[in-house]
């Protein structure tokens, strides 16, 4: 199968601090991969390098045979095809849930307003929040906001969706509804690269777990092997810590 | 009070009042467009654009508006022939632009950077993000401080008198001169006009704020 997203040797520094020291990975169509690792490791920066919100200093990103990092590539076209879901939702505060989803269809994809709204409602439906179409972000719970955030990304019909710690700003009670949506999206065949420590999601959806530390990929493998017999001592130690925090990976989901 | 005089000279005063309203509309619009542009340059522009913007706003905020008016009158009219009212709109407009840029700069800074990021992430350009996502939020946030600028600057229109604009104060002075008196009545009328203009403007701005209000963008409350 063809790789839909490929990154090669991504480097990025902030001042003297080298955050990413050469990260390479690839995703096939329909695959879900989960990145885990301690904070300050460059996981979020890596995701942001993929859609060039933070352009890498060195290295290449390819999306379905197009080099994203090539300066001649129309990055705005590319970003339409790479959905992004943010830790803090980043919903457009002055727009209703529906308009949050349809504004990209209308203003970026230049669809007719009615068509954009119709597709926006469909996207809200997919995340189970159609009844909140007219609510503003300030009126929604964190979990509802994040589901709108996911709908906003899905509505653009992207080739891949990047999830940047989508549940880590949520109250524990609200995490479930977001994970449910993420699992559904993964099962529907969306290609997903997620930074998350929700091991239940990782175990039930991920084809591969990637453990990043200090700007590098330390270990990667399929969840079964990764959780039961990790190769690196550091991986074991980290898995032990997040098991304490988030509970056993076998229970979640 | 000499009400007959007011009836006779009312139309003249009203014409002066109309000039004030024209100058207000002109210079505030100029200031709005220029102010938003300067603010965008300062907040989102590169180092070059933001220093240009900074220099412009510092210059026009530091020169007394009367000096600006007189400089514009003697400077601009030497370059191009133009009526005094246009000179007044330009001089008051650049001052307004400088002050408005600071109001809008604060507004842009008050919008979470995540808003721009998520706009970019769905494929908007930086300008589209500003136009469709950031600016609508900024406008809602700045109506309060903007109404303050409106209050100050509308009253300063009376300074256009100094460069011979036939605004309401100048017309009042004429009336006083050729009717040999009535100064209290005339000046009171001028004052009343400015008072009503300022209040009307504020009422409209409050209405606008209420009209644009959405949850999460509550206004200053009713007054």
Residue A253 falls inside a structural domain: no
Quick one: average pLDDT of B18-41?
97
By CB atoms closer than 10 A (0-12, 13-18, 19+), residue B218 is: exposed
pLDDT tens digits, one per residue of B74-98: 998 888 889 999 999 999 999 999 9
pLDDT tens digits, one per residue of A48-79: 999 999 999 999 999 999 999 999 999 999 99
Q: Identify the DSSP state of B132.
A: I
Residue A37 falls inside a structural domain: yes
What is the number of structural domains in chain A? 1
User: What is the nearest CA distance from A235 to chain B, expressed in angstroms?
Assistant: 32
CATH number at residue A228: 3.40.50.300
Contact A212, A42 (CB under 8 A): yes
Residue A252 falls inside a structural domain: no
User: What is the nearest CA distance from B223 to chain A, expressed in angstroms?
Assistant: 24
Which of B115, B123, B132 shows the shortest C-beta gap to A79? B123
Residue A107 falls inside a structural domain: yes
Q: For A79, which residue in chain B has the nearest alpha carbon?
A: B123
Instruction: State yes or no: pLDDT of B124 exceeds 80.
Output: yes
Query: Which residues of chain B does A77 touch, with a Cβ-Cβ cutoff of 8 Å?
Result: 123
Query: Which residues of chain A does B116 touch, with a Cβ-Cβ cutoff of 8 Å?
Result: none
Residue A222 falls inside a structural domain: yes
Cβ–Cβ below 8 Å for A93 and B216: yes
Residue A59 falls inside a structural domain: yes
Question: Domain range for residue A94?
Answer: 3-246
Q: Can you give the pLDDT at residue A247?
A: 64
Which of B117, B133, B217 shows the shortest C-beta gap to A53? B117
In angstroms, the CA B120 to CA A51 distance is 9
Instruction: State yes or no: pLDDT of A251 exceeds 70.
Output: no
In angstroms, the CA A199 to CA B212 distance is 43
Report CA A193 to chain centroid distance, whole Å.
Answer: 5
In angstroms, the CA B160 to CA B89 distance is 9
User: What is the nearest CA distance from B213 to chain A, expressed in angstroms?
Assistant: 9
Cβ–Cβ below 8 Å for B122 and A104: yes
Quick one: average pLDDT of A97-101?
98
How big is the A-B interface in CB pairs under 8 Å?
77
Backbone angles phi, psi at A210, to 5 degrees: -120, 120
Quick one: average pLDDT of B186-195?
93
Contact B100, B61 (CB under 8 A): no
Q: What is the ipTM of this complex?
A: 0.94
Residue A170 falls inside a structural domain: yes
Which of A53, A88, A93 shows the shortest C-beta gap to B120? A53
B119 touches chain A (CB under 8 A): yes
Residue A173 falls inside a structural domain: yes
In angstroms, the CA B117 to CA A84 distance is 10
- A21, β-bridge pairs: A11
By CB atoms closer than 10 A (0-12, 13-18, 19+), residue B70 is: middle
Q: What value does the mean pLDDT of chain A take?
A: 93
């Amino acid at each position: 199968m063809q790789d839909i997203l490929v990154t090669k040797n991504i480097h990025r520094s902030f001042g003297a601090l080298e955050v990413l020291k050469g990260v390479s990975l690839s995703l096939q169509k329909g695959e879900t991969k989960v990145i885990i690792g301690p904070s300050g490791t460059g996981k979020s920066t890596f995701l942001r390098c993929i859609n060039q919100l933070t352009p890498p200093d060195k290295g290449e990103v390819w999306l379905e045979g197009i080099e994203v990092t090539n300066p001649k590539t129309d990055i705005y076209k590319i970003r339409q095809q790479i959905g992004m879901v943010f830790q803090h939702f980043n919903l457009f505060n002055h727009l209703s849930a529906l308009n949050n989803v349809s504004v990209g269809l209308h203003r970026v994809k230049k669809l007719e307003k009615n068509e954009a709204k119709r597709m926006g409602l469909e996207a809200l439906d997919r995340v189970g929040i159609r009844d909140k179409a007219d609510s503003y972000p300030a009126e929604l719970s964190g979990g509802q906001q994040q589901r709108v955030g996911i709908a906003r990304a899905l509505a653009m019909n992207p080739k891949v969706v990047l999830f940047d710690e989508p549940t880590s700003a949520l109250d524990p009670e609200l995490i479930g509804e977001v994970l449910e949506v993420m699992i559904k999206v993964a099962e529907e065949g969306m290609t997903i690269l997620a930074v998350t420590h929700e091991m239940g999601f990782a175990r039930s959806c991920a084809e591969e777990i990637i453990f990043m530390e200090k700007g590098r990929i330390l270990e990667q493998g399929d969840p079964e092997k990764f959780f039961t017999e990790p190769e690196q001592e550091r991986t074991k130690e980290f898995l032990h810590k997040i098991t304490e925090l988030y509970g056993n990976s076998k229970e979640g989901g | 009070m000499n009400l007959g005089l007011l009836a006779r000279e009312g139309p003249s005063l009203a014409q002066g009042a109309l000039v004030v309203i024209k100058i207000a509309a002109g210079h505030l619009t100029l200031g709005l467009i220029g102010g938003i542009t300067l603010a965008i340059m300062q907040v989102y522009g590169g180092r070059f654009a933001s220093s240009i913007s900074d220099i412009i706003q510092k210059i026009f905020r530091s020169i007394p508006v009367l000096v600006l008016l007189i400089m514009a009158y003697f400077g601009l009219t030497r370059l191009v022939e133009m009526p005094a009212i246009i000179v007044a709109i330009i001089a008051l407009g650049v001052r307004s632009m400088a002050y408005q840029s600071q109001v809008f700069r604060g507004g842009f800074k008050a919008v979470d950077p995540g808003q721009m990021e998520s706009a970019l992430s769905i494929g908007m350009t930086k300008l589209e993000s500003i136009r469709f996502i950031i600016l609508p939020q900024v406008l809602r946030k700045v109506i309060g401080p903007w109404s303050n600028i409106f209050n100050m600057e509308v009253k300063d229109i009376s300074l256009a008198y100094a460069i011979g604009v036939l605004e309401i104060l100048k017309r009042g002075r004429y009336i006083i001169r050729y009717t040999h008196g009535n100064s209290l009545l005339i000046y009171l009328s001028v004052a009343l006009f400015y008072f009503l203009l300022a209040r009307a403007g504020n009422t409209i701005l409050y209405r606008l704020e209420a009209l644009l209000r959405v949850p999460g963008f509550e206004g200053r409350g009713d007054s």
